[in-house]
């Protein structure tokens, strides 16, 4: 694993940063974090290095929702790492669940593209490199909103479903090139900015407070997702592709 080059989009906080820590702890020494906030990127890299001094971790600025920036960021990361073997897409939008009747109609397109386009752009950017070397692993982070129709998640659920279908279809296309593509789908993730927004108040708080009562195995944290992502990137999952795995403490079993 120390020979792998790992690219984590949205790697400066939340699940992405937890994944960087997990992979570094397991022996990966070449990691690049892509994000939009340079200060947060600097802090994230410092935190990973402090926990795993042998890890050579870099921050690359870029907005994955912009196709040109996605390609530029991926190319810069590849050059810094000397290649790309693993891509993790853990991008999030600032959307807070709410009933469709309360969502301004002019916001719908932004919610869809703000969540769904980033993983698609990054996969497209790195795919030719992985195909050329005949191997690679991609993990996209979506949401259980893609699987379980939930009031308040009409638009974001559609965006997450797009990521899930994209993941499964890409897995079918890419398997002939030795590339595995999987997705993980959490529900509420405690201790993250997205989770904090969801629990800040209003309809969203009521929705997730009710869901949390069904998490009899315990509420999900970023480290829970990171553990699964690390497995799906690693040799233990060499025959697994096109799968969409929920991590939600038992909120649902879809």
Structural domains in the chain, CATH included, are 5-247 (3.40.50.720)
Edge-to-edge, what's the strand order for the sheet holding 86-89?
56-61, 30-35, 5-9, 86-89, 136-141, 179-186, 244-247
pLDDT in tens, 102-157: 999 999 999 999 999 999 999 999 999 999 999 999 999 999 999 988 888 899 99
Q: Supply the pLDDT for residue 2.
A: 57
Q: Supply the pLDDT for residue 194.
A: 72
Q: Give the residue from 152, 158, 161, 160 showing the smallest Cα distance to 102.
A: 152
Q: What are phi and psi of 135, to 5 degrees?
A: -165, 160
Report yes or no: 126 and 77 within 8 Å, Cβ to Cβ: no
- Pairing between β-strand 179-186 and β-strand 136-141 as defined by DSSP bridges: parallel
Listed in sequence order, the residues at least 6 apart from 173 whose beta carbon sits closer than 8 Å to its beta carbon are none
pLDDT in tens, 14-49: 999 999 999 999 999 999 999 999 999 999 999 999
3-state helix, strand, coil in the chain (%, to 5): 50, 15, 30
Whole-prediction pTM: 0.92
């Amino acid at each position: 694993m120390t020979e792998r080059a790992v690219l984590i989009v949205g790697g400066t906080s939340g699940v992405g940063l937890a994944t960087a820590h997990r992979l570094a702890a397991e022996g990966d020494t070449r990691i690049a974090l892509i994000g939009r906030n340079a200060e947060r990127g600097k802090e994230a890299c410092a935190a990973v290095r402090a926990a795993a001094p042998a890890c050579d971790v870099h921050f690359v600025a870029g907005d994955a929702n912009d196709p040109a920036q996605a390609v530029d960021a991926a190319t810069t990361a590849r050059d810094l790492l000397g290649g790309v073997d693993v891509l993790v897409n853990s991008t999030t939008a600032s959307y807070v669940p709410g009933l469709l009747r309360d969502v301004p109609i002019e916001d719908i397109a932004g919610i869809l593209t703000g969540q769904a386009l980033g993983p698609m752009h990054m996969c497209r950017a790195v795919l030719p490199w992985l195909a050329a070397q005949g191997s690679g692993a991609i993990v996209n982070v979506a949401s259980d909103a893609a699987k379980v129709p939930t009031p308040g998640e009409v638009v974001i659920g559609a965006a997450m479903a797009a990521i899930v279908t994209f993941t499964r279809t890409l897995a079918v296309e890419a398997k002939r090139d030795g590339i595995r593509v999987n997705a993980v789908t959490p529900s509420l993730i405690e201790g993250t900015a997205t989770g904090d927004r969801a629990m800040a108040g209003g309809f969203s708080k009521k929705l997730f407070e009710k869901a949390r009562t069904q998490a009899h195995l315990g509420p999900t944290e970023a480290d829970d997702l990171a553990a699964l992502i690390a497995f799906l990137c690693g040799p233990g999952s060499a025959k697994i592709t096109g799968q969409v795995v929920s991590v939600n403490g038992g909120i649902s079993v879809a």
